[in-house]
Amino acid sequence: MVKSQSMERAPPLSDDLVTAREGGAALIADYVKRLPEKPGVYRMIGEKGDILYVGKAKSLKRRVSSYAQASGHSNRILRMIFETRAMEFIVTESEIEALLLEANLIKQLKPRYNVILRDDKSFPFILIAGDHAIPQILKHRGARKRPGDYFGPFASGGAVNRTLNTLQKAFLVRSCNDSVYESRTRPCLLHQIKRCSAPCVGLISEKDYAGLIADASVFLKGKNNTIQATLSDQMERAAKELDFEGAAILRDRIRALSYVQASQNINSGAVFDADIFAVHSDSGQSCVQVFFFRGGQNWGNHAYFPRHDKEDETAVILDAFIAQFYDTREAPPNILVSTLPLQTALLTEALSLRAGRRVAISSPSRGEKRKVVDAALMNAREALSRRQSESASQIRNLKALGEALHLNGPPERIEVYDNSHIQGSNAVGAMIVAGPEGFTKNQYRKFNIKTEALTPGDDYGMMREVLTRRLARLVKEDPDLVVWPDLILLDGGAGQLSTAIEVMREQGVEVGANGIAIAAVAKGRREDDMGRKTADRTAGAIGEQIFLPGQAAFTLEPRDPALYFIQRLRDEAHRFAIGAHRAKRKKAIVTNPLDAIPGVGGKRKRALLNHFGSAKAVSGAKTQDLAAVNGVSNALAHRIYDHFHGD
């Protein structure tokens, strides 16, 4: 796990930061419930889909759960936690694989919070050189231009060095470079300590040495355990003969050989430029896991959950999915799949035609390629399991919400509305959407408040404008009620609720059981030490009230699941509204009054600012002074003057 360079404890945070951090921690804690006790890599994703952090874990469940804790983190990690809006996971077979994949993804994605500077060297390999009659075995980094067999990559140079030492002990192969080899007239020290067979002076024939190289190559490929078994027998014999020092040395050799032999199929030499598609289906749902391999390295993965008929087979799902997937993408030379698509030949021909070269689609049945496909299939199975668990939890939440608000049943589509502004400036309305699949972020909407007659800070007026625009568009564009909400939830009290009901009636939208259900939820109130009532945004706050049409306000039990779900919905709307408001405010800060004048582009604006010093000075300038600026004609000078003086 990559740690922050600065590990000092965080100073006290503001209330807004604490609220945001708890929101991120709560989201992470929700993921932890469905994570396995397996090694893997996790990615933390921000609001705009940007990768915040890539980390690896020996146990995903235990590592990710540490981020759900409220304390013990550095400032940087705290900020990363509350900026997290989603997470993605890759399950691996071993921690070594997770480490290699983590490094690949960090180098490719450059996440913001992976702050420790990393060595930009490539991963080391073991090379059995093929350009000499007596092959050398050595560590290699960089481009693989030298002929020979490459084995790896390894996680570190130290791991390669230990492996090379052990291989020298087990196979007596040379490690000296060619110039040293050619100049030897007598055996070197490595031969004296039994780490080289001394082919340089003819103590072993070329044929026998080739046999040692072949054994070393076979062992590095993980296809033969003969040497390990032989060393194990030797260790037992040494122990029986009370040669404990010799037994310990043999034990260390076995450990090193086991390290070399460990499978590292996250980066597979058999898969160079390829996309891997693996589909797993269960209970009418499917996950298509896509892995991207480029240059022999894993560049990451993504899980897709396509909609399809419950009776569709995996071959049908893959056929349609791959065709749509490459609609706007160029296919690599090889596509490996867990199951062949229904129309493999036709799909191959179409993709080859579009790419202008041959594209092959295959489903390997054995070997290294099958191991990679199996890894993708395992991740598809894990991702679908997490998805189904999340869906089941969401369905329970919707059912509890329907019962708490006295609806006819669980709502299928919820729209939550909130406003954000600072004393009326840069006012923005926000709408988020939730349903059985969770938050539907591609259907979120923001509304720039346009009514100039509004009193600054008029929440009721802003709510009226937002709902009027939203409902008017629904009535006009969706008369068949395809994407109409079952429930509208407002962040506010009785005033917001009555305003919304009035707007719905104006638009001809029925309220209640036969139309759209509506509710408002007001922030809880607590009394401070001085007896003053203050807002409390925490779930289950004392006095938190829910308003329904024609009913008195009521509260839910502090531990009621519906209350937590309502709180989560409102917090998401609040987060989205604040984000939209901040973006608008940031844009307004850098907006220049000259931008609104037709004919004043970047060059002329720069010339005016350089001449007068500021936009305010430009607004007070006379026409003849404006015309004196390079690039400003008399007509444009009059236009600029008229713009600022309302003529």
Q: What is the CATH number of the domain that holds 608?
A: 1.10.150.20
424 shares a domain with 572: yes
Amino acid at 542: I
Question: With contact defined as beta carbons under 8 Å apart, do 57 and 1 qualify?
Answer: yes
Residue 340 lies in a domain: yes
Residue 343 lies in a domain: yes
Question: With contact defined as beta carbons under 8 Å apart, do 275 and 302 qualify?
Answer: no
Q: Count Cα neighbours of 35 within 13 Å in the Cβ-side half-sphere.
A: 27
Neighbour-count burial for 254-282, b at 16+ CB within 10 Å, e otherwise: bebbeebbeebbbbbbbbeebbbbbbbbe
Residue 1 lies in a domain: no
pLDDT above 80 for 103: no
Residue of 348 and 330 predicted with greater confidence: 348
* 574 — pLDDT class (breaks 50, 70, 90): very high
Q: What is the pLDDT of residue 531?
A: 52
Range with lowest mean pLDDT among 121-125, 429-433, 543-547: 121-125
* pLDDT tens digit sequence for 454-511: 787 788 999 999 999 999 999 888 777 778 999 999 999 999 999 999 999 999 998 8
Q: What is the pLDDT of residue 380?
A: 92
Question: Where would I find the beta strands (DSSP E) of 465-570?
Answer: 487-491, 517-522, 524-527, 533-536, 545-547
What are residue 365's phi and psi, to 5 degrees?
A: -105, -15
619 shares a domain with 496: no
Q: What is the CATH number of the domain that holds 574?
A: 3.30.420.340
Range with lowest mean pLDDT among 59-63, 165-169, 313-317, 581-585: 165-169
Residue of 302 and 564 predicted with greater confidence: 564
What is the number of domains present in the chain?
5
448 shares a domain with 566: yes
433 shares a domain with 569: yes
Residue 406 lies in a domain: no
Give me the mean pLDDT over the 287-297 stretch.
77
Residue of 158 and 322 predicted with greater confidence: 322
Mean pLDDT over the full length of the chain: 80
pLDDT above 50 for 17: no
pLDDT above 50 for 587: yes
Give me the mean pLDDT over the 344-354 stretch.
85
Q: What is the pLDDT of residue 21?
A: 44
Q: What is the pLDDT of residue 79?
A: 84
Which of 343, 367, 386 is where one domain is finished? 386
Residue 400 lies in a domain: no
Q: What is the pLDDT of residue 297?
A: 56
462 shares a domain with 576: yes
Alpha-carbon distance 149 to 167, whole Å?
15
* Residue range(s) defining the domain that contains residue 37: 15-109
Residue of 5 and 209 predicted with greater confidence: 209
4-13, 174-183, 213-222, 412-421: range with highest mean pLDDT: 412-421
249 shares a domain with 218: yes
Residue of 478 and 575 predicted with greater confidence: 575
Residue 547 lies in a domain: yes
Give me the mean pLDDT over the 429-436 stretch.
93
Please tell me whether the peptide bond between 153 and the residue prior to it is cis, using omega within 30 degrees of 0.
yes
474 shares a domain with 497: yes
* 432 — pLDDT class (breaks 50, 70, 90): very high
Question: Where would I find the beta strands (DSSP E) of 319-472?
Answer: 334-337, 360-362, 414-422, 425-435, 438-439, 445-448
Q: What is the pLDDT of residue 517?
A: 94
Alpha-carbon distance 616 to 624, whole Å?
17
* pLDDT tens digit sequence for 142-159: 777 889 988 755 545 666
576 shares a domain with 428: yes
Residue 394 lies in a domain: no
Which of 589, 607, 632 is where one domain is finished? 589
600 shares a domain with 578: no
* pLDDT tens digit sequence for 518-565: 999 987 655 555 554 555 544 444 457 899 998 889 998 888 889 989
Q: Is the pTM of this model over 0.75?
A: no
Q: What is the pLDDT of residue 165?
A: 81
Q: What is the pLDDT of residue 102?
A: 77
Q: What is the pLDDT of residue 413?
A: 94
571 shares a domain with 607: no
Question: With contact defined as beta carbons under 8 Å apart, do 518 and 500 qualify?
Answer: yes
599 shares a domain with 584: no
Residue 395 lies in a domain: no
238 shares a domain with 97: no
Q: What is the pLDDT of residue 180?
A: 87
* 615 — pLDDT class (breaks 50, 70, 90): confident
Q: What is the pLDDT of residue 267?
A: 52
Which of 233, 261, 289 is where one domain is finished? 261
